[in-house]
Amino acid sequence: MQRDFITLDVFTDRPFGGNPLAVVLDGRGLDGAAMQRIAAEFNLSETVFLLPPVDPANDATLRIFTPQLELPFAGHPNVGAAVACAMGGGPFGKAGTRQVLFEERIGLVRLDLDYDGALPRGAWLAAPAAPVVGKVVDAALAARAAGLPEAAIRCTGHPPQRVALGPEFVIAEVADGESFAAAGPQAGAFGTAATGRLDAILVLYRRDGAGLQVRVFAPLAGVAEDPATGSANLALGGFLAHLAPGADASLDLSVRQGAEMGRPSQLRVQATKRCGTVEPPRIHGHAVPVMEGRLRDPD
């Protein structure tokens, strides 16, 4: 059997920027092991597979794989898959649709499409839940994983902290642009917490006027650095709303990511805190189709 796929660059409005994604338009008949092998073959940050939904009121089940593991939720795979569906691709595509509902391991995920004329150009992704803010992390550990001196992280306004939204992240602010540009993932510093290594995805950010610059290192998922990371930025937006003074806060942030990799990416994050409780944040990004092809089933 042969299966159609499409690749899109996500969180960019032009080809060869943003974060590439492979969408297998019909994953029926593939088990998880086969999907993992296919994702390893594409060797992109993520590859996704569309399957029939359990509830026919929804559009599809979405399974998301890095080259090494399956994720319960991720941002750029959702935005890219939604645009692929709105292009009418595969048995689960609906050309011109304004909303897509995906069933995922984390739960039901909703995306609202926007268009340039008749062509889908991007989507708003609502997080299926609010991020869960966890424990503070030693700045020395986060700095070692980023290849930075401890002072580059310790002297900022808030220590690194765990935040979960599907995957678990350690979010750390970097003090200055020079340190931010010099950071790089140190694979040997990632591993199990019991061995004194960082056991989560590392998210570095710095404030850039009214917006943010972000870098994301995920060696444990087979991705040294990710050019654009929707779930990490959803978690970051919710975390910054959590830190905002007062019981109520509203953030609308422009985020730049991937420039250090030659894959400039742009996304928008909105997060709200009401009466001390952070609501599920949302992000917006564009997606551009790049390639189409046919995949042979693995033996």
**Are 275 and 248 within 8 A, CB to CB?**
yes
**Are 269 and 211 within 8 A, CB to CB?**
no
For 75, the 3-state DSSP assignment is helix
Same domain, 102 and 154: no
Same domain, 207 and 245: yes
Same domain, 144 and 265: yes
Same domain, 121 and 138: no
User: What's the confidence (pLDDT) of residue 299?
Assistant: 64
How many Å apart are CA 176 and CA 153, to the nearest integer? 9
Nearest 5°: the CA angle 9, 13, 17 is 45
Same domain, 124 and 167: no
Same domain, 144 and 275: yes
Same domain, 32 and 152: no
Same domain, 275 and 292: no
103 is catalytic: no
Mean pLDDT, 10 residues at a time, the chain of 299 residues? 94 96 97 96 97 98 96 96 96 96 96 96 96 96 97 86 96 95 97 95 93 97 95 97 96 96 96 97 98 86
Same domain, 248 and 172: yes
Same domain, 17 and 105: yes
For 39, the 3-state DSSP assignment is helix
User: What's the confidence (pLDDT) of residue 297?
Assistant: 74
How many domains does the structure of the chain reveal?
2
User: What's the confidence (pLDDT) of residue 138?
Assistant: 95
User: What's the confidence (pLDDT) of residue 210?
Assistant: 83
Same domain, 100 and 141: no
User: What's the confidence (pLDDT) of residue 276?
Assistant: 96
Active-site position among 41, 46, 168, 178: 46
User: What's the confidence (pLDDT) of residue 298?
Assistant: 66
CATH of the domain at 48: 3.10.310.10
E runs forming strands in the chain: 2-10, 19-24, 46-51, 60-65, 70-71, 99-104, 107-116, 119-126, 132-136, 161-164, 168-173, 201-208, 211-218, 223-226, 249-257, 265-274, 277-278, 282-296
How many Å apart are CA 10 and CA 27, to the nearest integer? 21
User: What's the confidence (pLDDT) of residue 223?
Assistant: 94
User: What's the confidence (pLDDT) of residue 158?
Assistant: 86
Domain range holding 207?
Answer: 132-279
* Tokens read off for 288: 């551009």
Same domain, 71 and 152: no
User: What's the confidence (pLDDT) of residue 212?
Assistant: 97
User: What's the confidence (pLDDT) of residue 155?
Assistant: 75
Question: For the whole prediction, is pTM greater than 0.85?
Answer: yes
